Amino acid sequence: MKSDEFLGKDLVLESKDIQAGSVEWKSPSNIAIVKYWGKYGRQLPRNPSISGTLTAAHTITKLSWQARQQRSDTTGVDLEFLFDGKPAPAFKARIASFLEQLKPQFPFLSQLSLQVDSSNSFPHSSGIASSASALSALSLCLCSLEDRLFGTLSDDDEFERKASYISRLGSGSAARSIFGYWSIWGKSGEWPQSSDTFAVPLKSHVHDMFMNMKDAILIVSKKEKSVSSSAGHQLMDENPYASARYHQAQNRIISLLHILSRGDWEEFARLAESEALGLHGLMMCSSPSYILMEPDTIKLIHMIRSWREDEGLPVCFTLDAGPNLHVLYPQKHAKKIEERIAADCTPYCQDGQIIFDELGPGPVEL
């Protein structure tokens, strides 16, 4: 690795050498089993997390560039931003400030006029966190742009590490979306290559049963969350249970790594559900306290547990920082479980919306 911070002070061009062009990436969302909740410094995690990268829930981003008429280091990046083909001022402001922060890594951004066109496969405001897919897609585009202009990221591992590092600066969980199937972000003694600054893939470590795991996302509510993830992370600073939680997460990383390699579904279900409810428990004992689950979230949790405990179906749930349930099950049992989900869960989902997703190979350049 060239540098810990992927700094790029030499990445500046003569204006006459800048050729206009574009790159495009499709990048999926991910679902964490051991959750990242609590951060410090520049998006550094208080504990390591492990997630699976999804397929159907993804963002497609195209980044086009041309030489900027006048180079300027003081007036911010020159950006046009379209979401679903239309201007989106709130997103544009967030992306402009993200790009501005990235000048130490990509100093050439001041020399360009940029256009970013982004769209999600899942309906906007479906309550699915889109920051992981959106920020990873954009970060991959930026790394491809660097490589097109300077040829500095031709090594695939270096490319992915930088893309993960840059994604993390935009949204912590986005660091994990760079890799297909399972990845770990945050330092764990159990996984020597792991790092707080970028994610790494778990690759051949994982048993087949978990490689193609299914995830049916039950959209209980599409409402905007009452407390954002960044506010939630911040509340962990004063949470009286924080240090116990970080300790627990470290131990759970060790357990989950073993579970994933053994293919132990029962232990997986126990750990995943306890993590999900623990995450929401932390929210309930923050100050101020808050609840993101809805009454129908709880009804569905009981339903899924009874499928497992009373009927022996290999199924469990997890939750992000929101009311929507992710129902997890092995591919082998998909037919039966999906029929059951469609019949019994649909009435509890807003507009009957369910996204049938699964783990997959991760981002692709289009």
Least distance to ligand PMV, CB of residue 131, Å: 5
Angstrom CA distances, 91 to 83, 166, 333, stand at 8, 18, 39
Site for ligand PMV in 183-242 (CB under 6 A): 229-230, 233
Separation of alpha carbons 357 and 366, rounded Å: 21
Verify binding: residue 36, ligand PMV, rule CB under 6 A: yes
User: Of these, 49, 64, 167, 324, which contacts ligand PMV (CB under 6 A)?
Assistant: 49
Least distance to ligand PMV, CB of residue 69, Å: 36
What are the two backbone dihedrals, phi and then psi, of residue 198, each rounded to the nearest 5 degrees? -155, 160
User: Of these, 29, 105, 121, 131, which contacts ligand PMV (CB under 6 A)?
Assistant: 131
Least distance to ligand PMV, CB of residue 200, Å: 15
Angstrom CA distances, 64 to 11, 24, 60, 195, stand at 18, 9, 13, 31
Least distance to ligand PMV, CB of residue 258, Å: 20
Least distance to ligand PMV, CB of residue 25, Å: 18
Which helix (H) or strand (E) element contains residue 235?
A: helix 229-235
Site for ligand PMV in 287-346 (CB under 6 A): 320-321
| Residue type for position 301 | I
Q: Alpha-carbon Rg of the chain, whole angstroms? A: 21
Least distance to ligand PMV, CB of residue 183, Å: 11
Looking at the Cβ atoms of 132 and 337, the one nearer to ligand PMV is 132
Site for ligand PMV in 166-185 (CB under 6 A): 171-173
| Residue type for position 333 | H
Looking at the Cβ atoms of 121 and 167, the one nearer to ligand PMV is 167
Verify binding: residue 27, ligand PMV, rule CB under 6 A: no
Which tokens belong to 37? 């909740």
Contact (CB, 8 A) for 49 and 35: yes
Mask of contacts with ligand PMV, 73-112, x by CB under 6 A? ----------------------------------------
Angstrom CA distances, 114 to 73, 77, 111, 152, stand at 15, 8, 10, 20
- Total residues interacting with ligand PMV, rule: CB under 6 A: 16
Q: How far is CA 70 from the centre of its chain?
A: 36
Least distance to ligand PMV, CB of residue 129, Å: 6
Verify binding: residue 136, ligand PMV, rule CB under 6 A: no
- Structure-derived torsion over alpha carbons of residues 194, 200, 205, 207, reported in degrees to the nearest 10: 130
Give the SS3 label for residue 187: coil
The residues binding ligand PMV (CB under 6 A) are: 32, 35-37, 49, 129, 131, 171-173, 229-230, 233, 279, 320-321
